Amino acid sequence: MHQLILLVSVSFIYTISLLIATQIKDYYFVFNLCIIPIVISGYFFKAFSTLLLTSFCCVLGLTLMHGGASAAEVAQSISLFIGSALLSIGMYRIFDKLKNYKQDNIGLLKEKFAKSSSTTAQVNDSRAYLENKASEMSNLYYSVKRMGSCFAFDNLLNILRDTITESFKFKRCELIILYHSDETVKIDKIYQITKTKMEQIEGIGYGEGLLKFMLRKKQLLQIDIKKGKIDAEEFMPPEELNTFIAAPIISGEKTNAILAAEDIDLEQRDRFTVVANQFSMALERIRLYELVQELAITDGLTGVFVRRHMLERLNEELNRADRFNSRVSLLMIDIDNFKNYNDRYGHLKGDLLLKKIASVLKGGIREIDIIARYGGEEFCIIFPDTDTKGAELVASRLRESVENLEATVSIGVASYPEDAKTWSNLIEKADRMIYKAKGAGKNRVCVYAK
């Protein structure tokens, strides 16, 4: 269609040239306007179409010789047409190469941009992944740091529950507490950890097998049911499980507990190990802290409380009795003729007698009662929620028990609030009864009476 328009244009120019040939001598210059369609053809169409159009113009130029145009003028026009055609074809090729070059560059740029966009997406994904991991590690660090600052077992259990539920995906998790008796190790308590709570349960089907494995291997147990289980002959996991992981809680050479999780993502095993190790250190720290606390309030020789702790507890019990309108009784106990015993048998024998008497006294009272070494050969026992009559009965029974050790004690009894209104007065009244008992012949119980 476009080539036809160009041919019509050339024919139109040729016709105009013939029409004005009768009026203008140098009419041939109008015919030279044919270079315009030639150039247009060469610039926008293929070289073959341009050459055909140029040949057509040259043939028309030769016919002008019959109209009076000279051969030189026709030759000039033909040369002009051919030169214009060649020039336009050359320009087209240069432009086409330039266009292709630009398109190639644009394609490369698009490819680079696409790769860059893909790389950017990968970088963003990697950054999001790393940020998520960093957040998880930060939360894990905060949780294990909380474990490190914990000095109570109940608080440690709550922190462990929070850490496990926030950091891991699992079906169920158990903390198995062990106790050591002579050379045997048995399961003491089992705590089940869920998303909402931590509660003590009676038992789990695989507990004993898991205990045997942990005592034998003392290492992390990881099981992927799809890949087959590892060397764990003693342990048979439930059939409905897909994955299982368990870590021993070890202090020195002693396995104190086992932390186990069912259907957990095994890629989280390293973090699970970190939590187990931190819990182990926190558990040992609590044990040492309680031991220090116990040593600080316990008499090293007899194993009963020291005087300072007894006075603190006595003050607490009197305050509680005042709030709830109850009674507190106090026994002051002194070993008869203890100085003579030391002089006769030596201090080592005297220390042994103190230990035996303390053991007898401790074994003859309730768990809520408080016994302490008040000083030297003197002991003190606090009886919460006990009146004078009840305290006197226990005192008489303890006195008789001490006689089995071939020793005797004198005991004074006083009660709050009947006999005294303060802890110091209560001790004073009970202590006064000791002197009364000794003055009456020793080895007896004297009760304060106003």
- For 104-156, the pLDDT digits (tens) are 788 787 777 777 777 767 767 767 655 666 555 666 667 667 777 777 888 88
- Cα of 60 vs its chain's centroid, Å: 93
Q: Where are the beta strands (DSSP E) in 202-242?
A: 221-224
Region 269-286 average pLDDT: 85
For position 374, what pLDDT does the model report? Answer: 92
**Mean pLDDT of the region 261-274:** 85
Structure tokens that stand for 272 in this block: 């699970």
Higher pLDDT: 421 or 195? It is 421
Strands (E), 140-283: 172-181, 184-193, 198-201, 221-224, 243-251, 254-262
Average pLDDT of the chain? 80
What pLDDT was estimated at residue 110? 79
The percentage of residues in the chain with a pLDDT greater than 90, rounded to a whole number, is 31
* pLDDT of 300 strictly over 80: yes
CATH class of 307-447: alpha beta
d(CA 250, CA 271): 17
Summarize the confidence of residues 278-299 as an average pLDDT: 80
Q: Which two tokens mark 56?
A: 């057509």
Per-residue pLDDT tens for 339-394?
999 989 998 999 999 999 999 999 999 999 999 999 889 999 999 999 999 999 99
| Residue position matching structure tokens 């008040």 | 374
Residue 383 · residue 413 · CB < 8 Å: no
Domain extent listing, the chain = 1-148, 153-292, 307-447
Task: Report whether pLDDT(427) > 70.
Answer: yes
Q: Mark residue 24 as left, alpha or beta (left: phi above 0; alpha: psi -120 to 50; beta: remaining).
A: beta
| Residue 400 identity (one-letter amino acid) | E
DSSP, collapsed to helix, strand or coil, labels residue 417 as coil
434-439 mean pLDDT: 93
213-255 pLDDT, tens per residue?
888 888 888 888 777 655 556 667 777 778 888 899 888 778 8
More confident residue, 382 or 48: 382
Please check the confidence at residue 271 and state whether its pLDDT lies above 60: yes
Q: pTM to 2 decimals?
A: 0.49
Query: Which CATH code of 3.30.565.10, 3.30.450.40, 1.20.1250.20, 3.40.190.10 fits the domain covering 153-292?
Result: 3.30.450.40
Residues, the chain, total?
450
3-state secondary structure of 324: helix
Range 413-437 average pLDDT: 93
pLDDT at 68 over 70: no
- For the record, the structure tokens of 302 come out as 């007899």
Structural tokens at position 269: 């095993």
Q: Are 246 and 260 in contact (CB under 8 A)?
A: yes
Alpha helices in 246-306 (DSSP H): 269-297
Name the phi and psi angles at 161, rounded to 5. -60, -45
Asked if residue 408 has pLDDT above 70, the reply is yes
